Amino acid sequence: MTPPASARAVILDRDGTIIVDRGYLDDPAALALLPGAAAGLRALGARGHPLIIVSNQSGVGRGRLTLARMHEVNAALLAVLEAEGVHLAGVYCCTHRPEDDCACRKPRTRLVLEAAAAHGFDPAAAVVIGDKGCDIELGRRLGATTLLISADGRTSDGTPATPDHVVPDLLSAARLIGAAHAAHPAA
């Protein structure tokens, strides 16, 4: 099913936004959804929003886990989400270390631009949701709407950020996006 043209793509961080952030997650069995994640993603998907994960996974570049193991964790996440009635349009990961100065590590925009080309959405019209400063900065660089997942308004990594909205979880994010769409259907 093709999403309606009015459905904005939702760019999501993985760790700390959809799943519990366990540092360098290298065990698919340790994967755990955050409260509200499945329900929020399901609601966004039901409204036709393409859901795309963009994640920094420097544990691969640092030698903390293999590329194959990262793919196993992502496959396990996709299976868990599918069982919850959630379909992701894509998963894009940067496996470089921060000091590699690559073009794909958030807050740089390369992975979102690749996703936009593959899935046919306007990055500036997207919504970027994450828990770290780099997620919010990514959204700013794209000209997108930004939502910070936070209980206290601060980023999980302590970096300063000025998101458009702060929400405690993905279910709250879905409600906010739904309310914004109802108020401005062309948005």
Q: Where are the alpha helices (DSSP H) in 35-169?
A: 37-46, 58-61, 67-83, 110-119, 133-142
Provide the 8-state DSSP code for 125: G
* Catalytic one of 15, 131, 135, 169: 15
For residues 111 and 54, the answer to whether their CB atoms sit within 8 Å is yes
CA angle 178, 40, 104 (to 5 degrees): 95
Residue 135: active-site member: no
Query: How far apart are the C-alpha atoms of 9 and 2, rounded to whole Å?
Result: 12
**Nearest Cα to 147, choosing from 40, 1, 11, 55?**
11
Residue 101: active-site member: no
- Determine the residue type at 76: A
Give the CA distances from residue 173 to residues 10, 43, 48, 129, 148, in Å, rounded to whole numbers and listed in that order.
Answer: 10, 10, 15, 8, 9
Strand partners, 166: 148
Catalytically active residues are 13, 15
